[in-house]
Structures are given as C-alpha cells and as structure tokens.
Amino acid sequence: MGVCLSAQVKAESPYNTGVNSKNVSTDGNDLSNINSKVSSTSMPPTPRSEGEILQCSNLKSFSLSELKTATRNFRPDSVLGEGGFGSVFKGWIDENYLVASKPGTGIVIAVKRLNQDGLQGHREWLAEVNYLGQFSHPHLVRLIGYCLEDEHRLLVYEFMPRGSLENHLFRRGSYFQPLSWSLRLKVALDAAKGLAFLHSAETQVIYRDFKTSNVLLDSNYNAKLSDFGLAKDGPTGDKSHVSTRVIGTYGYAAPEYLATGHLTAKSDVYSFGVVLLEMLSGKRSVDKNRPTGQHSLVEWAKPYLANKRKVFRVLDTRLEGQYSVEDAYKVATLTLRCISRESKFRPNMDEVVTLLEQLQAPNADAGNRNPSCNASRPRRRSADDVSHRRATPTAYPRPSASTLYT
C-alpha cells in the first residue's frame, strides 16, 4: 500500500488545516508497521473525502463475510465488551494474508461492530479510520482494517489480551485482581506517552475521550489508547482552541470545555488527571452510590491531594504497603495540577511523562515507606503476580461517551 502524503484532515472538523507531518517512532514495541507512515506536506488545508480517507489508509478493507468467519458469526460468547457504539468480538485472522483463519490459529483480533444507528456512528467510525489509519505508535492500539458494506461498519484491531484499565480498576472477581502500585504507574506512563505523542507538534491531535475503558492492556501490561472516534485536530496558527459541540464522557471532560465547547490539548490533560485519580483511589470519577459529598471523585479528593498527611485517605486500600508517602504525594501533586480548574495551571503531557518517568526509576524512594501503610499486612494478590482464572465478573455501573449537555 502506498504512503499517503496528503494533508491530514478530519471527518468532522471545520478546522482542517492539515499541516501535519507524521513521522512516528516506536520504542521497542513489537508492533509490525502495517500502519506506519511518514507524511509531510506544505500544502494548504484540504479536507479529505471519505473515499480519500479509506483509499489512503494503510488498512485492510475486510468484507462482512470475512469478519463473520473470523468471529464465528459474531458469536455471543466471543464478546469482549460493549460500548456506546456497539459490541467488540474476538476473532482470528491469518497473520500474513489477513484473511479469516480457524479459531485458535493465526493472530487474534478484536472486531468492533457499530450499532446501525445512522450518521453519528458513521462519523465516528470514519474518524477512527482516519486517525488510527495514519498513526503507528507503541501506545496507540493498532487498527488492522475496517469493513464498510451497505449499512455495516466494523473496525478490526489488534487484540489486547488484558482488556481495559477500567476492568482492572473497577471490576471485582477473581479474574480481575487489583493492579499493583508499580503497574498503575507503568500504565499511567504508557498512556501519558500516547497522549504526548498525539499532542506533539508533528501530530497536534486532541483525543477528547480519555478514560479508563479506552486504555487497553496487552499481555505485558503495556497500555495503549483506543477509540479515536471523538478525536479532533488541535488548533493551529494563532488559534488557542478548537470550537466543538460538547461531547465526551461525564466525569472526565474539562470544566472549560463543558462550559464553552472550547477544546485544547489541556482538555485531555484534565481527563488524564481524572484517570490518574481513579488509579490512585480505585474509585470511579462519578458514582451516585457514594455518600453525599463524594459523588464527584475530583471534588471530594482535591483537599486530600493537597495535604501530604492526608493524601493516604484518597489511596486505594488495596495498595497498602506498596508505595512510599513521598511517591504517593508526588503522584497526588501531579494529579492535582492536571485537574486544575484553570487550564493554564495544568502541565502539558511531555511534562507529565517526565514526572512519571522519574517515579518509575528503580528504588525511587524505596527506603521511605509509610509506616501507616502497614507493609506487614498480608498483601492481596495483585494482577502482576497472579494466574488468571475466569470467573463471572460482578455487574458494575459504567459511564459511556455521549453528547454532554450543560
């Protein structure tokens, strides 16, 4: 397939300036480069038509019947998850020819089948093809192909064996053991790198739907961002923001975006801060079942995050004995900055990456464990030291992406 040298243009945005050059590096990940591309242009903005997007993407165009075969006719017992736009099924394809293969042979894929609900779904489907068709990065999930046939719209991704961060943080049951402190920091860093790449000067994309269900984990707990249906080109030139309809997921959207529809990279930083807080606390960003005053995790946690002696009150009790006060306070301070009401006080994602990298250093503050964290208590088994047994997970309330009315 050829390399696409045209301007990058989004399906939705009226701000299609398309000055991006994409030169995507990998940092040791084993992805093959099916999507990798180098594009550059000095061309003026040129919106791409649907045909151009599909033709230009280095993606395989699957037929519906191929994907039926690959997923054993979308068997209900191969459903990996359900989102606002449809269900995701497990399937198998041949590694070299990318054609359906016998279950259990070839490579495993995840096939997202959009509910057939018209234009809205199509726009997001196309945005996903447009963005993920151009990017190749160790912390973005790899899109292998798509299917567009009559009213059917499907997307074919690499399979992420450990599922979403959401499941690991919030599902209960023996299959989902609590993630350890060090794995949470690793996942946070991986996801931050994914966002930093999107925000970088060459890419300039705002992700707009950063939340735990969109952070997927491979077998080694490498985290990758999925779901680019709401992504948008960032502002260019002397523009400070992009104006959009307010869409996203309750509990993650930045306050200024909710109030004005003005979207910037700092909106993603706010969402990242919310996820960091969910990872620290093991609590959902919004939960009406919590006592009055605690429905919004951000509002409840802020005073504690700012106080070194009280920060442990926010921390997930399942992490007891695994972190030092110093490290916990550093992450809390970073979280607090990311969720600043005023976007100018939020760090950018490069800074977030640097700070999280410092926390991953071996033995960082190892000698400074918080005695109140009672390291001698028997530790629950965590996800990195457990062999997973399948069990029916308990039901749980979950947020999903939608238009957010204010």
Residues that bind Mg ion (CB under 5 A): 214, 227
By CB under 6 A, which span of 75-83, 238-246, 293-301, 325-333 interacts with ligand ATP?
75-83
| Residue 191 binding ligand ATP, by CB under 6 A | no
Q: Is 68 annotated as a binding residue?
A: no
Residue whose CB is nearest to ligand ATP in the complex, by number: 83
Scanning residues 247 to 286, which ones bind ligand ATP (CB under 6 A)? 249
Q: What distance in Å separates the CA atoms of residue 183 and residue 383, rounded to the nearest whole number? A: 8
Question: Cα separations (Å) of 203 from 199, 262, 276?
Answer: 6, 19, 24
DSSP 8-state code for residue 104: T
Active site residue 209: yes
Instruction: Give Cα 81 distance to the centre of its chain.
Output: 15
Task: Give the residue with the Cβ less far from Mg ion, 234 or 399.
Answer: 399
The least distance separating ligand ATP from the CB of residue 402, rounded to whole angstroms, comes to 8
Please choose, from the candidates 183, 142, 193, the residue with its C-alpha nearest in 3D space to the C-alpha of residue 27: 193
Q: What distance in Å separates the CA atoms of residue 45 and residue 238, rounded to the nearest whole number? A: 15
Residue whose CB is nearest to Mg ion in the complex, by number: 227
Task: Give the residue with the Cβ less far from ligand ATP, 19 or 215.
Answer: 215
The least distance separating Mg ion from the CB of residue 162, rounded to whole angstroms, comes to 15
Selected from 89, 157, 252, 257, the binder of ligand ATP by CB under 6 A is: 157
| Residue 81 binding ligand ATP, by CB under 6 A | yes
Please choose, from the candidates 222, 218, 227, the residue with its C-alpha nearest in 3D space to the C-alpha of residue 188: 222
- The active-site residue, picked from 190, 209, 218, 327, is 209
Q: How many residues bind ligand ATP (CB under 6 A)?
A: 25
Strand partners, 61: 146
The tokens for 98 are 């990318």
| Residue 214 binding ligand ATP, by CB under 6 A | yes
Please choose, from the candidates 355, 319, 360, the residue with its C-alpha nearest in 3D space to the C-alpha of residue 186: 360
Q: What distance in Å separates the CA atoms of residue 107 and residue 91, rounded to the nearest whole number? A: 8
Please choose, from the candidates 26, 9, 224, the residue with its C-alpha nearest in 3D space to the C-alpha of residue 129: 9
**CA dihedral in degrees (259, 263, 264, 265; nearest 10)?**
100
Instruction: Give Cα 259 distance to the centre of its chain.
Output: 24
Partner whose binding site includes residue 327, from Mg ion, ligand ATP, none (CB under 5 to 8 Å by kind): none
Task: Give the residue with the Cβ less far from Mg ion, 50 or 82.
Answer: 82
Helices (H), 21-63: 50-56
The least distance separating ligand ATP from the CB of residue 176, rounded to whole angstroms, comes to 11
| Residue 148 binding ligand ATP, by CB under 6 A | no
Partner whose binding site includes residue 401, from ligand ATP, Mg ion, none (CB under 5 to 8 Å by kind): ligand ATP
DSSP SS3 for 187: helix
204 CB-near residues (< 8 Å, 6+ apart):
20, 233, 234, 236
| Residue 221 binding ligand ATP, by CB under 6 A | no
The least distance separating ligand ATP from the CB of residue 161, rounded to whole angstroms, comes to 7
By CB under 6 A, which span of 30-38, 156-164, 259-267, 328-336 interacts with ligand ATP?
156-164
158 CB-near residues (< 8 Å, 6+ apart):
31, 107, 109, 110, 141, 142, 144
| Residue 227 binding ligand ATP, by CB under 6 A | yes
Please choose, from the candidates 329, 274, 278, the residue with its C-alpha nearest in 3D space to the C-alpha of residue 304: 329
Selected from 92, 159, 300, 304, the binder of ligand ATP by CB under 6 A is: 159
By CB under 6 A, which span of 70-78, 153-161, 306-314, 387-395 interacts with ligand ATP?
153-161
Task: Give the residue with the Cβ less far from Mg ion, 190 or 227.
Answer: 227
| Residue 164 binding ligand ATP, by CB under 6 A | yes
Which of the residues are catalytic? 209
Binding-site members are 112
Binding-site members for ATP are 112
What are the residues binding ligand ATP (CB under 6 A)?
A: 80-85, 88, 110, 112, 141, 157, 159-160, 163-164, 166-167, 213-214, 216, 226-227, 249, 400-401
